[in-house]
Amino acid sequence: QVQLVQTGAEVKKPGASVKVSCKASGFTFSNYGVHWVRQAPGERLEWMGWINADNGNTKESQKFQDRLILTKDTSASTVYMELRSLRSEDTAVYFCAMTFWFDPWGQGTLVTVSS
Amino acid sequence: IQLTQSPSSLSASVGDRVTITCRASQDINSFLAWYQQNPGKAPKLLIYAASTLQSGVPSRFSGSGSGTDFTLTISSLQPEDFATYYCQQVNSYPRTFGQGTKVEIK
């Protein structure tokens, strides 16, 4: 079964960093790209960036370009999203999603930024 | 590219035909997808390439349009269809989503 499993919820203080993982199973990981999307409470979905699971090339939204780091571990079929210098506005559910058409999705990881 | 959905919310009854529109701020060809999201869950891909039904999605869902104007239609609303629907463009970066349309029970 094709699925993506993300790490559990995180609580961070302003200024800290968070690293969320997304583990793939049921398909050849390196054949695809992985997108990261977040959703703040009551807000629309927001695309953050993309990583090529084969060669590690990335593309980030300009909004996050200086704070967002996308990496991969091919041997573990896992990609990582690190967001630095967290602020309260980064409180959101963070999702990973595979392929060009964003399917499948991970279950989401709630990141709460609070002092 | 900005995507504007209408309406932002609607109330409908089981069995109703429901239509949601999505307008893009520039031509995106057919690079549009529709997603269904239930509270606390990840979005689920319904339609891609504007009109192609994703495997396993009921045939009461259909999509149409190209260029800047797109439509998602649910031909006969079922209880499990009450959710929020989003359009998304994949024509260019950054990928963008519409603001969502919440379909509620009348």
Once rounded to an integer, what is the mean pLDDT over residues B95-105? Answer: 97
Which of the two residues, A66 and B8, has the higher pLDDT score?
Answer: B8
What digits encode the pLDDT tens for the residues A52-70? 999 999 999 999 988 999 9
Give the residue numbers in A contacting B (CB under 8 Å), as ranges. 35, 44-47, 50, 59, 61-63, 95, 97, 100-103, 105-108
Residue B80 backbone dihedrals phi, psi, to 5 degrees: -75, -5
pLDDT score, position B45 = 98
Take residue B94 and report the two structure tokens written for it: 């950054």
**How many percent of chain B have pLDDT more than 70?**
100
pLDDT score, position B63 = 98
A39 neighbors A102 (Cβ within 8 angstroms): no
